[in-house]
Amino acid sequence: MGPLNGIRVVEFTGLGPTPMAGMLLADLGASVIRLDRPAAADAMSAGGAGPHMSEGRTVLPADLKSDEGRALALDLVSRADVLLEGFRPGVMERLGLGPDTCLELNPRLVYARITGWGQDGPSAHTAGHDVNYISVNGALHAIGRAGGPPVPPINLLGDFAGGTMFAVTGVLSALVERQTSGRGQVVDAAMVDGSALLMSMVHEDRARGSWSDERGTNYLDTGAPWYDVYECADGRYVSVGCIEPRFYAAFLEGVGLAGEDLPDQWDRSGWPRLRERFAEAMRTRTRDEWGEVFDGVDACVTPVLSLEEAPDHPHVRARGSLVRQGGRVVPGPAPRFGRTPGGVTRGRGRPDTDEVLREWGVTS
C-alpha cells in the first residue's frame, strides 16, 4: 500500500515538477486527485495520454474560474492532507484558492507551491524554465568541458532535482511536523533554491581552494582524466570514475597501463598526458568488451548505455530500476521500503473515480 497510505493529495494541473511530485506521492501510496481543465480531463477519461507524468491517478474536470469548479476544489481541499500547485505566484489567490483561504478551511493542510523563482523576489513573476533557474545560481556555469560553453543537463537539475524533490521533501517534513503541532503550513519550493543547494559540495570545494570557476578543469567536471567518458573502438562510450587510489590502480591494470611510467594521478600538469594514454587505450576495444573486462572489478568503469539498452543491464534488470511494460520503458519505484513498499503509477490504469471519491467522503 505504500508508506503514505491514507494521505490525501489534491494536485492542481501543471507541467514538469508539479505532476512529478503528484506521481511520486502516488507511488508512495497517497491517494491523489488531479484537478484539470474540463477538456483535458475529459480527453484523459476517454483514453487520451494526458500531460507528462499524470498516469495512474484520478483526474477530475474543474473550471477553476467558475463557482462550481471552485466549490469542487474547496470541497476536496477541506478533506485533503496536501495541496500541490505550480502556478505563478498570485494565480491561486486570484482564483480564491490561496493559502489563507485553504488553511482557514483546513488548518491541517500542507500547501505546497512549486515554482521556478519562488513566491517572492524580483523575478518571482517572470517566466522561466529549468535552464534559466540554473543559470542565475551558478549551477549551469559549472557544467561543460574546458573551453566550451555550458551544457544544459536536460531538465533534470532545475525542474526535477531542484523542484520536485525539494517539494516532496518539504511536504513530507511538514506532514511530520504536523504530528506535533496539529497544523499545516505553506511549503515554498523554488527550483532556483533547490538546484543552488544541490551545489553545496562544489561551493565547499571552491571555498577550500580546490575548485575553479573555470569549468572542465576540476576533478568532477571532466577536468580530471580519470573522471570522464571515453570513446571505444565501436564509437560507443564507457564512463570512468576511479577517484580513489585503489580504484585508479585497478583501472590502470584493466587497461594495460599499470607498468607504464605515467604522471601521478593528482598531478594536474600531467593530466593531458594521462588523458591521451587513456583515450588511446580505450579505443583498442569495443564498449561491451571493456564491460566484460571490468565486470565485477572495483575500478569504477561502466558502459554508457542508451535509454533503450539500459533496462537490459543485469543490475538495472535485477533491481527493477527500469522495466519494459506495454512496449515502453517505465522507471521502477524509488526509494524502496522494507515493510510498506510503494508501487508504480506509470502505465497503470486510472483508479475508479467514484470509488476514490467515496473514500474521500465525497457523495455528490
Q: What is the DSSP letter of 228?
A: E
Q: Quick one: DSSP state of residue 211?
A: -
Query: Using an 8 Å Cβ cutoff, are 33 and 57 in contact?
Result: yes
Decide: 72 and 60 in contact? Cβ < 8 Å.
yes
CB 27 within 8 A of CB 343: yes
Contact between residue 153 and residue 141 where contact means Cβ atoms under 8 Å apart: no
Pick the catalytic residue: 27, 159, 193, 228?
159
Q: Which three cell numbers stand for residue 263?
A: 604522471
In three state form, how does the secondary structure of 33-102 look? Answer: EEEECHHHHHHHHCCCCCCCCCCCCEEEECCCCCHHHHHHHHHHHHHCCEEEECCCCCHHHHCCCCHHHH
Which residue is catalytic, options 63, 75, 129, 313? 129
Cis peptide leading into residue 153 (ω within 30°): no
Catalytic annotation on 141?
no
**Range 225-260 burial, b when 16+ CB lie within 10 A, else e:** bbbbebebeeebbbebbbeeeebbebbbebbebeee
User: Which grid cell sits at 295?
Assistant: 565486470
Cα–Cα distance list, 3 to 9, 181, 257, 345 (Å): 14, 21, 50, 15
Cα–Cα distance, 304 to 310 (Å, whole number):
9
- For the annotated catalytic residues, the residue numbers are 129, 159
